[in-house]
Chains A and B, each alone.
Chain A
Amino acid sequence: MTQPSMKIDIQRYRPEMDEKPFMQTFEVPYKADMSVLEALQYIKDHLDSTISFRWSCRMAICGSCGLMVDGVPKLGCKAFLRDYYPQTLTLKPLANFPIERDLVAVMDDFIKKLEEIKPYIIPAKTASNEKKCLSDGAYKQTPEQMEKYKKYSMCINCGLCYSACPQYALDKKFTGPAALALLARYNRDSRDAGKAERMKIVNQEEGVWGCTFVGYCSVVCPKGVDPAGAIQLLKVESSKDYLIGMFKPEQ
């Protein structure tokens, strides 16, 4: 019996040779348990060693192998050939990002946005305006307090949500789903006191108000983070912030 095979169209782009991307078709042996990432590794090992793609852990935790699978942003390690067989599969680099080479996207803008939202715990100052000393002991948290932000802390920074976001595609200044979900993660943490600082980012036009609630980010998220939900809750917070600000005397 001959081994069944499957055709895969891959978008190529070699910056030193090509003006624009083009499609190239490969044929890989089909196995029901083969992931898209394994198919790419088969192509690199046996068919064309020049093809470039990112990967590391093979188990949906590193967030490296994001790509467009038939137009939908997915992790290569979490998408399986069996869900597309016997049709031809189309692979392209993550949408809305510049293409470095073949299936490798330039994620610099995304990383910059993650850094911008102060993604760390900003502790409250004590009465003497000093930060709590390590010798004073740990910051304690109940499971209930953890539950408030846990979902938003599961992000693996794969960038699929940015590829799913038409608002980010239309305006690259938009802070975007993952960064805002990460912001919510810290704002909702009982050990954090940096909410006022982060609300300045939230309240901007490029903050939560750049979101029109398309909601596809939450659909494509491989870790169930629900960035769309985080952003809508931040919109509520931002509105409250605005209303309270109206009644506060000028500082």
Chain B
Amino acid sequence: MSKRKPYIQELPTDWWMKQLFYTKYMIREGSSVFITIYSLILAWGVLRLSQGEAAFNAWMTSLQSPVAIIVHVIALALALYHTITWFSLAPKAVDLWIKGKALDDKFIVSGHYAAFIAATVFCLFVIML
């Protein structure tokens, strides 16, 4: 008779707190919660806009409450964190070869930042106009 009795290792529920790498990953993934809240607030604003000036102004006033400001600051911080970590991972999903050599990671990362800056400047330009 076999004496084998393999012991099954369970994944502890706090697995992502025990290793800094996993914690950072969970923050990156968890940022989606606040970004969803931010998107919903924005969508709510569009809805209020369709209901007329008074409704839209009430929405604008509600954004100035301390809770709204805190939520937006957290959402901004997490969005930046997500952007920075995601850009640093971007080269892994790019398969560009030039003259038989894989394109250097730093070109891909800086390309992303350049596109990010260009989009931000464009949006600012549209808003300011």
Which residues of chain A have a CB within 8 Å of any CB of chain B?
Answer: 13, 15-16, 20-21, 71-72, 93, 95-100, 106, 143-144, 147-148, 166, 169-170, 212-216, 218-219, 226, 228-229, 232-233, 235-236
* Chain A residues with CB below 8 A from B102, complex form: 147
When the two chains form their complex, are residues A166 and B100 in contact, meaning their CB atoms are under 8 A apart? no
When the two chains form their complex, are residues A228 and B6 in contact, meaning their CB atoms are under 8 A apart? no
Which residue of chain B lies nearest to A168 when distances are taken between CB atoms in the complex?
B11
When the two chains form their complex, are residues B4 and A15 in contact, meaning their CB atoms are under 8 A apart? yes
- A166–B26 alpha-carbon span in the complex (Å): 11
Q: How many contacts A-B (CB < 8 Å)?
A: 68
When the two chains form their complex, are residues A226 and B92 in contact, meaning their CB atoms are under 8 A apart? yes
Distance (Å) between the CB of A106 and the closest chain B CB?
A: 5
Q: A216-B21, A232-B92 are in contact. List 4 more A-B contacts (CB 8 A).
A: A98-B8, A166-B11, A169-B15, A215-B25
- A127–B106 alpha-carbon span in the complex (Å): 44
Binary flags per residue of B1-33, CB closer than 8 Å to A gives 1, else 0 = 001111111010001101101100100010000
Q: What's the tally of chain B residues with a CB closer than 8 Å to chain A?
A: 25
A-B contact pairs, 19 of them (CB 8 A): A71-B18, A71-B19, A96-B9, A98-B6, A100-B6, A144-B100, A147-B102, A166-B11, A166-B22, A169-B11, A212-B29, A215-B89, A216-B19, A216-B25, A219-B21, A228-B92, A229-B92, A233-B92, A236-B95
When the two chains form their complex, are residues B92 and A15 in contact, meaning their CB atoms are under 8 A apart? no
- A13–B7 alpha-carbon span in the complex (Å): 8
Most buried by A among B5, B25, B97: B5
* Chain B residues with CB below 8 A from A219, complex form: 21
Binary flags per residue of B87-107, CB closer than 8 Å to A gives 1, else 0 = 001011101010011100000
- A166–B10 alpha-carbon span in the complex (Å): 11
* Chain B residues with CB below 8 A from A216, complex form: 19, 21-22, 25
When the two chains form their complex, are residues B93 and A235 in contact, meaning their CB atoms are under 8 A apart? yes
Which residues of chain B have a CB within 8 Å of any CB of chain A?
Answer: 3-9, 11, 15-16, 18-19, 21-22, 25, 29, 89, 91-93, 95, 97, 100-102
* 3 cross-chain pairs, A with B, having the tightest CB-CB distances, nearest first: A98-B6, A144-B100, A15-B5
* Chain A residues with CB below 8 A from B101, complex form: 147
- A111–B6 alpha-carbon span in the complex (Å): 17
When the two chains form their complex, are residues A20 and B7 in contact, meaning their CB atoms are under 8 A apart? yes
Distance (Å) between the CB of A24 and the closest chain B CB?
A: 16
- A137–B101 alpha-carbon span in the complex (Å): 28
- A236–B27 alpha-carbon span in the complex (Å): 25
When the two chains form their complex, are residues B93 and A97 in contact, meaning their CB atoms are under 8 A apart? no
* Chain A residues with CB below 8 A from B93, complex form: 229, 232-233, 235-236
